[in-house]
Amino acid sequence: MDRGTGDRGRGDRAGAADAGLHHRTDLDHPIFTESIGLIRARLGPTGLTGIDQEVGERLIHSSGDLTLLPDLVFSPGACALGLAAVASGAVILTDTAMAAAAVAPMARRTFANPVHSLLEWAPAVAPPGGTRTAAAVAASLAAHPGAVVLIGSAPTALERLLELVAAGRAPAPALVIGMPVGFVGVLASKRHLAASGLPQIRLEGTRGGAGLAAAAANALLRRAWLDQAP
């Protein structure tokens, strides 16, 4: 399935860049700005800096959970790779339509990155012993090498991604945001992601979800946009 954007996608990205040159600060609603100030005051020193800190703050803002930072893990250079990918217009793949819907507005306001749910490549019926999302991983990665991949709900999709990349049957994503939520298969999938060597941002434990995975991606989009030369 061809999900490329072609000339229209490049034009959209150019238009977004031109329109945003004088409106970079418009990305932040006043309530968001006030919330981040309150979060910083409540957290105090975190040991995080720069974009790592911003990702953590946005996760807290999205969840209302001030205790999650100890479980937030970045592989070396993960955020720098993510920033470069989104700034270059990389496709963003998500495991749910909910996560795609949460990222698409920020993508439109910044680099016009195409945002797709893996379910666009899924079969109508889940294969025996599997899930529709996991079945869609191979086709979506093949269609969009170098994508930023968000997993917030389906540990089976994360496991399938890791299997395919390890076997050389799919291109490695530019970045994996691995935050599946729940109790079945979640902890194992996060352990396997940690051992994979792929660039990653992950949330250890049972917490996660579409909203948190999307929040991490939105933090990257926002920072990459604000870091552009005026």
Find the CATH number of the domain harbouring 181: 3.40.50.10230
Residue 187 lies inside a defined structural domain of this protein: yes
Residue 172's identity, in one-letter code, is A
Q: What is the pTM of this model?
A: 0.87
- The reported pLDDT for the residue numbered 134 is 86
- List the domain range (segments joined by +) for residue 47: 6-226
| Weakest-pLDDT range from 20-29, 155-164, 181-190 | 20-29
pLDDT tens readout for residues 91-143: 999 999 999 999 999 999 999 999 999 999 988 898 888 888 888 999 999 99
Residue 167 lies inside a defined structural domain of this protein: yes
- The reported pLDDT for the residue numbered 36 is 94
Cα–Cα distance, 222 to 134 (Å, whole number): 29
- Does residue 43 surpass a pLDDT of 80? yes
Q: With cut-offs at 50, 70 and 90, classify the pLDDT of residue 150.
A: very high
Residues taking part in catalysis = 61
Q: With cut-offs at 50, 70 and 90, classify the pLDDT of residue 27.
A: confident
- The reported pLDDT for the residue numbered 25 is 56
Residue 1 lies inside a defined structural domain of this protein: no
Q: Please, are residues 201 and 175 in contact by the beta-carbon 8 Å criterion?
A: yes
Strand partners, 203: 72
Q: With cut-offs at 50, 70 and 90, classify the pLDDT of residue 194.
A: very high
Cα–Cα distance, 71 to 55 (Å, whole number): 13
Query: How many residues can be counted in the chain?
Result: 230
What does the pLDDT average to over 194-221? 98
The whole-chain average pLDDT of the chain stands at 90
- Does residue 189 surpass a pLDDT of 90? yes
- The reported pLDDT for the residue numbered 127 is 86
* Number of domains composing the chain: 1
Q: Please, are residues 150 and 174 in contact by the beta-carbon 8 Å criterion?
A: no
Q: Which two tokens stand for residue 44?
A: 């105090």
Question: 88-116 b/e with 16+ CB inside 10 Å = b?
Answer: ebbbbbbbbebbbebbbebbebbbbbbbb
- Does residue 22 surpass a pLDDT of 80? no
- The reported pLDDT for the residue numbered 223 is 97
Residue 85 lies inside a defined structural domain of this protein: yes
pLDDT tens readout for residues 78-95: 999 999 999 999 999 999
Residue 86 lies inside a defined structural domain of this protein: yes
Higher pLDDT, 12 or 21: 12
- Does residue 2 surpass a pLDDT of 90? no
What does the pLDDT average to over 147-160? 96
Residue 137 lies inside a defined structural domain of this protein: yes
Instruction: Catalogue the E-assigned strands of 60-135.
Output: 72-74, 92-94, 115-117
Residue 87 lies inside a defined structural domain of this protein: yes
